[in-house]
Amino acid sequence: MIRFKNGRVLDMNGSAEAEEKEVWVQDGKIAFVGLPSDQMIKSAVFEREYDLEGNLIMPSFKNAHTHSAMTFLRSYADDLPLQDWLFKQVFPMEAKLTGEDVYWFSKLAVLEYLTSGITASFDMYFELDDYFRANTECGFRTVMCGAISGDSSAVKRLEENYRRFNGISPLVTYRLGFHAEYTADYELMEGVAELAEKYKAPVSVHNSETQKEVAECIQKYGKTPAELFEALGIYNYGGAGFHCVHFSDNDMEIFKKRGVWAVTCPGSNSKLASGIAPICRMREKGVNIAVGTDGPASNNCLDMFREMFLMTALQKIDRADASACPADFVLNAAVKGSALAMGLDDCTELSEGSQADLIVIDLSQPNMQPENNIVKNLVYSGSKQNVKLTMCAGKVLYENGKFNVGEDPKRIYARCGELLRELKSRP
């Protein structure tokens, strides 16, 4: 049993107040949250007791949209128009990637997630065996999202991956998905819809990230991407739409009706000038909202604190209303919404039986003082520098700036540097 004591608990189980309680963890799960009796303490066997010294313990953040291995393109091709960035820089470099590259660059991303209090990623990429190894070796939780594109011949691979990676590890699940409408032909999308029906499974896909994407989809099919996916039956069992920046009221109706999650990526949308997602409007319409960083080539960092601040700040600007998108809603989306969008239903809160995916926030730093309101401090002035400890599945993977991922971070940085030099010189 691991005991966290002398701290304050934001359990996110109904109350937005941090309360003086303890959290006990056993076999990867939360065993107890509350104030223990002397008898309970006496009869428990603690392998480790953390004195929180008044700091905050809460459920971790989940990153509901990313492409982890794209760390290799961080700060490689910035300050370019989106189409040039994607087609002239990103796609040609990606075409040269090997499994070993994906392995090391995914590990680099895991380190960064941990420093930001993120314990799970909803990741869309390729070289899945290497990606799988990188994450599980670190002890990091991931939900792999189908990333197929092109023609319908790719659907077979999607089904193989779906069957292969679900059940392979307690830290890993796999969800049906494809890259986007604009990189898939009609038969591929029909094939994905058939799989959704066969497995009664949700489908997750990029959706309405740019104006161009939506305009071209309407030109081609007479429908927006959300309308097209609805017509095909792709969303019959829910799923997620990544970005949802250029979204009509009818798109929102579809998401609401099908229980599809809108995953907002405000950092990436800002940097690529894609636009501001209509989060407030979606919320009013009853659409569920989750938060993702998107990949490190477009963001460029994997930091949930920055996403939370941008999410609320952009809504306030967009609506010319400082009360738009309040802090408790934002925190909820980044913790619970994101977990639910990924199907991690037991990672949303600190309660008995939940997964022990949690973080400790250092309140004894200037940006977290005074404590008028801890939730507002987290969203408006909080930063990854406040993350003292990150635990995933009951294992401490990051604590006081040190990693416990089975590998020296210096070796990960060095390998990434070597591989990048090699990659650039590959024909």
Which residue, 94 or 294, is less far from Zn ion as judged by CB? 294
Structure tokens given for 313: 């700040």
**Minimum separation from the CB atom of position 364 to Zn ion (A):** 37
Which residue, 18 or 189, is less far from Zn ion as judged by CB? 189
Q: Are the beta carbons of 393 and 171 closer than 8 angstroms?
A: yes
Which residue, 311 or 368, is less far from Zn ion as judged by CB? 311
Look up tokens 């590990």; give the residue: 107
Strands 239-243 and 260-264: parallel
Which residue, 293 or 312, is less far from Zn ion as judged by CB? 293
Q: Are the beta carbons of 217 and 224 closer than 8 angstroms?
A: yes
Contacts of 187 (CB under 8 A, 6+ apart): 151, 152
Measured distance CA(293)–CA(31) in Å, rounded: 31
Stretch near Zn ion under the rule CB under 5 A, chosen from 34-42, 68-76, 128-136, 288-296: 288-296
Which residue, 68 or 386, is less far from Zn ion as judged by CB? 68
Stretch near Zn ion under the rule CB under 5 A, chosen from 12-20, 196-204, 294-302, 390-398: 294-302
**Minimum separation from the CB atom of position 175 to Zn ion (A):** 14
> What's the DSSP call for residue 222?
S
Structure tokens given for 309: 């601040």
> What's the DSSP call for residue 33?
E
Contact track, Zn ion, 354-383, x by CB under 5 A: ------------------------------
**Minimum separation from the CB atom of position 204 to Zn ion (A):** 11
Task: Scan residues 329-348 and list those touching Zn ion (CB under 5 A).
Answer: none
Q: Are the beta carbons of 12 and 335 closer than 8 angstroms?
A: yes
Which residue, 245 or 391, is less far from Zn ion as judged by CB? 245
Stretch near Zn ion under the rule CB under 5 A, chosen from 83-91, 292-300, 302-310, 337-345: 292-300
CA distances in angstroms from 213 to 183, 208, 226, listed in the order given: 10, 6, 12
Measured distance CA(177)–CA(174) in Å, rounded: 9
**Minimum separation from the CB atom of position 71 to Zn ion (A):** 14
**Minimum separation from the CB atom of position 354 to Zn ion (A):** 28
Q: Site for Zn ion (CB under 5 A): how many residues?
A: 1
Measured distance CA(409)–CA(331) in Å, rounded: 29
Stretch near Zn ion under the rule CB under 5 A, chosen from 289-297, 334-342, 382-390, 401-409: 289-297
Which residue, 110 or 360, is less far from Zn ion as judged by CB? 110
Q: Are the beta carbons of 62 and 344 closer than 8 angstroms?
A: yes
Stretch near Zn ion under the rule CB under 5 A, chosen from 134-142, 164-172, 219-227, 293-301: 293-301
Which residue, 138 or 263, is less far from Zn ion as judged by CB? 263
What φ, ψ does residue 388 adopt, rounded to 5°?
Answer: -90, -35
**Minimum separation from the CB atom of position 20 to Zn ion (A):** 41
Q: Are the beta carbons of 205 and 173 closer than 8 angstroms?
A: no
3-state secondary structure of 378: helix
**Minimum separation from the CB atom of position 124 to Zn ion (A):** 6
Residues found near Zn ion in the complex (CB under 5 A): 294
